[in-house]
Amino acid sequence: MSLIGKVIGYFLERRAKGKDYDALAIQLEEARRQVAARFAAAADTPRNRAQANHIIGIERWAQRRLRTLLGEPLIMDEYDAYRPGEDKSIAELGALFDETRTESIRLLQSLRQAALPITKTVPHNDSGPLSIGAWAVYLAGHASRESILLRPS
């Protein structure tokens, strides 16, 4: 864990404080619309495809971490293996982001159905233990921030 990671974790926890599963799902859905619009407007360039792969890879990696709360073994890996690959067009990556975000929202619902408290934690590589709520805030914010770097046609 780095000092910056700890600080980021602190702010993620603060932004998640007091939010329930429904509020977090709404936040993920609102961010989805914003990010999807940026994907739709993005030029199909190697730079944009690399950025899109980063966004999707991080989201899939975070999903894998959260699934440990449902019984999957914890693997302290990096996000690289979760990237879809540079061979996909930006349109295909946009559709894949939408599918991936749908899965994040479904996963949040599964965690709620498992009656897990929103404060239950899973380790982040750099920020240490993050609550379910902080992970959801992280996903919404990461995709929103990183999609700003997608350059339009």
Question: 112-121 — which CB contacts under 8 Å span 24+ positions?
Answer: 112/21, 114/69, 114/70, 116/69, 118/16, 118/19, 118/20, 118/21, 118/24, 120/69
Please state, in angstroms and rounded to a whole number, the distance separating the CA atoms of residues 109 and 22.
9
Q: What pLDDT sits at residue 1?
A: 76
Half-sphere exposure of 4 (CA within 13 A, CB side): 0
Mean pLDDT of 63-89: 96
Phi and psi, residue 101, nearest 5°: -65, -40
**Cβ(12)–Cβ(137) under 8 Å?**
yes
Tell me the per-residue pLDDT of 77-120, one tens digit each, with 9 for 90 and over: 999 999 998 899 999 999 999 999 999 999 999 999 999 999 99
pLDDT in tens, 40-60: 999 999 999 999 999 999 999
pLDDT-based confidence at 74, cuts 50/70/90? very high
Cβ burial 100-125 (10 Å sphere, 16+ → b, else e): bbeebbebbeebbeeeeebeebbebe
